[in-house]
Amino acid sequence: MSPDSLLSKAVARPRRTALVVLVLAMLGISVTGIALLWSQQQAIITCNDLAWAVDQGDELSFSVDVAGSESSWFGEHYSTEFNWSSGNVTMRIAELPVLPASADRSIFVSEVVLPIKLQCLSVEVPQNYSTLLVGVLSRFFLPVGCWDELDLMFEDDLPSVSHYPEADGLEYGTLYCAGQFANDIFEFSQRRYESRFPNWSTETWTGSTSAETGIPIAATYSDSNPGCTGSSYLTMWITLNP
Return averaged pLDDT per consecutive 10 residues of the chain, 242 residues in all. 45 43 41 34 72 98 97 80 97 97 93 98 97 99 94 91 70 92 97 80 96 99 84 96 97
Instruction: Give this prediction's pTM.
Output: 0.78
Tens-place pLDDT, residues 26-73: 444 333 332 333 334 457 887 677 999 999 999 999 999 999 998 887
End-to-end CA distance of the chain: 88
C-beta neighbour count of 224 within 10 angstroms: 16
